[in-house]
Amino acid sequence: MSQLVIRGGTVIDGTGGEGFEADVLVEDGRISQIGTGLSAETELDASGCAVTPGFIDIHTHYDAQVFWDPALTPSCFHGVTTVVAGNCGFSVAPTRPEHHETIALTLEKVEDMNPATLAAGIPWDFETFPEYLASVERRGTVLNYAAYVGHTALRLFHMGHDAYERAATDDEVAAMAKSVREAMEAGAAGLATSFAPTHVGMGGKPICSRMAEFSEFEAMSMELSKLGRGVIEATLGAGFAFNEIYDFQRRVGVPVTYTALLAMPGLWQHGSNIHKEERAKGTGVWPQVSCRKITMQVQLSEPFPFDQAQCFASLYAGSREERLAKYQDAGWRAQALEELSHTPLPTRWENFELAESDIHTGSIDRKLVDLAKERGESPLDTMIALSLEENLTTRWRYIQANDDEEGIAHLIQQEGMALGLSDAGAHIGMLCDAPLPTDLLGNWVRERGVLPLEKAVHKLTAEPASIFRFEDRGILREGAHADVTVFDPRTVAPGPIRRVRDFPADADRLTADAPQGIRHVLVNGTPIQTNGTSHATTMDARPGQRPTQSNFK
């Protein structure tokens, strides 16, 4: 459609300013006019609705899924029009043919992606990061797609499997820095890494970015500083903590966002206090916060929540038969229980409950601690026993983090903190937090009144656009790209989460494909949803673009 009008809604333009009644005229992919009495051959009714910029999700892992699912489901259903992939350093490029399996096994372990799906779904017609972006753009996307170049991929590309064992040489660091510059010049959104102790890769080894000296990462980061463009994203850990990231940002000069400032007792107060002090001095650091409790499902065939314990991490180096033998060994279980009580993120057994089971159907949704009490044993013993009875297919639901509601309310109201951590595209068999925008608008704006609607829209649109300097996006104004989301503030909600089997290699995942209150969504002027019906997965058009970034200097 070259011209259409969105009529009769309340325009909330993304700036944080008060909404106003107006029509929005769209022509040739841009907003040509905002005013009253506008007309076009095609009209979209927005009566009773907010008309806002399309939502921007800055923390996704769609790096592989983009090839077989250009609609980037389920984000497209929730009013999202722009995503940023490659977070935590887990891009799929640069790569060499001999490392494809290593990348797949890393993504399996860290981000719960199925290696068979990756083998069937990624074309692997690229090696460098510029070639990756070109491959994505040849196929097209329904949403606007941006991506970081990842530290883990860079190390593997330039060091081979030594990347998991040692520090880089000066020549290797220089080669990685050169690849970062090439990626940025081709349109990468920035550079991402992880130092998190929870990020354990194939065979139970730490991901290779964790093996790097910090000077290596800073050398790569300085390429963004020289260009004056892009964003650095990091998952914090040893050697890169709350109180160190601010000085680092001042040295490199470009925005830095970190994952994640979670609402957990003690943690959020500490991180928030540091940020408040540093913000008073002036900072370009943006902690990522989330309005959703991190609620995951797990099977003991892949015991992701326990990876911080060495006895669990070491299981990945062995066979399934060896894993089953360990689970049946009372001595191993006692050791595992002891280790889990001393991990950086303590295991909170009271947060576990039975989610899915073929034989224990009468216990579904019951708390693990109650089941364990009835059996007279530890929660770990009960989880293992019930799982062994159905060949480890039992699924357990647990709240991993971000469940302090007072902390969530505090963090999402703070200046200089960005909404992130939807993790869309990752952990697909365990969680689905892509509904972050509809959860914010329904739960925290309408139901709880924690944020005014205009502020929430700002945090979903203009604020992330400003961090990345995405040109002409995030604000409804004349001349801007026509990324538009129209929703009913009275009904908007994330809807249910369900398990489907629709990925390559017949893989299953959790999705949220039925939110409430989203009426229309436009990407660069093309409707991908109208009157509450999504066309994103069936339309031939792929209107998504790679957002361009303006320089900081």
What's the pTM?
0.95
Residues 375, 441, single domain; the answer is no
Residues 381, 423, single domain; the answer is no
- Which helix (H) or strand (E) segment is 485 a member of? strand 484-487
Specify whether the CB–CB gap between 184 and 224 falls below 8 A. Answer: yes
Residues 340, 461, single domain; the answer is no
Residue type, 319: S
pLDDT in single tens digits along all 553 residues of the chain: 579 999 999 999 999 999 999 999 999 999 999 999 999 999 999 999 999 999 999 999 999 999 999 999 999 999 999 999 999 999 999 999 999 999 999 999 889 899 999 999 999 999 999 999 999 999 999 999 999 999 999 999 999 999 999 999 999 999 999 999 999 999 999 999 999 887 888 777 899 999 999 999 999 999 999 999 999 999 988 778 777 999 999 999 999 999 989 998 888 999 999 999 999 999 999 999 999 999 999 999 988 888 888 899 888 878 899 999 999 999 999 999 999 988 877 788 999 999 999 999 999 999 999 999 999 999 999 999 999 999 999 999 999 899 999 999 999 999 999 999 999 999 999 999 999 999 999 999 999 999 999 999 999 999 999 999 999 999 999 999 999 999 999 999 999 999 999 999 999 999 999 999 999 999 999 999 999 999 999 999 999 999 999 998 6
Q: Among residues 399, 414, 436, which one ends one of the domains? A: 399
Task: Give domain status of residue 135, yes or no.
Answer: yes
Residues 288, 353, single domain; the answer is no
Residues 182, 244, single domain; the answer is yes
Q: Among residues 337, 371, 399, which one ends one of the domains? A: 399
Residues 235, 340, single domain; the answer is no
- Domains held by the chain: number: 2
pLDDT in tens, 281-307: 999 999 999 999 999 999 999 888 888
The reply to whether omega before 260 is within 30° of 0 (cis) is: yes
Residues 358, 446, single domain; the answer is no
Specify whether the CB–CB gap between 435 and 495 falls below 8 A. Answer: yes
Specify whether the CB–CB gap between 90 and 153 falls below 8 A. Answer: yes
Residues 241, 376, single domain; the answer is no
Task: Give domain status of residue 9, yes or no.
Answer: no
User: According to the 3-state scheme, what is the secondary structure of 113-145?
Assistant: CCHHHHHHHCCCCCCCHHHHHHHHHHHCCCCEE
Residues 130, 212, single domain; the answer is yes
Residues 164, 279, single domain; the answer is yes
Residues 229, 142, single domain; the answer is yes
Domain carrying residue 287: 54-293+402-470+504-514
**What pLDDT does 390 receive?**
96
Q: What angle do CA 251, 253, 258 make, to 5 degrees?
A: 90
Task: Give domain status of residue 284, yes or no.
Answer: yes
- Indicate which CATH number applies to the domain containing 238: 3.20.20.140
Beta-carbon count within 10 A of 538 CB: 7
Task: Give domain status of residue 533, yes or no.
Answer: no
Task: Give domain status of residue 175, yes or no.
Answer: yes
Task: Give domain status of residue 14, yes or no.
Answer: no
Residues 163, 74, single domain; the answer is yes
Task: Give domain status of residue 37, yes or no.
Answer: no
**What pLDDT does 553 receive?**
62
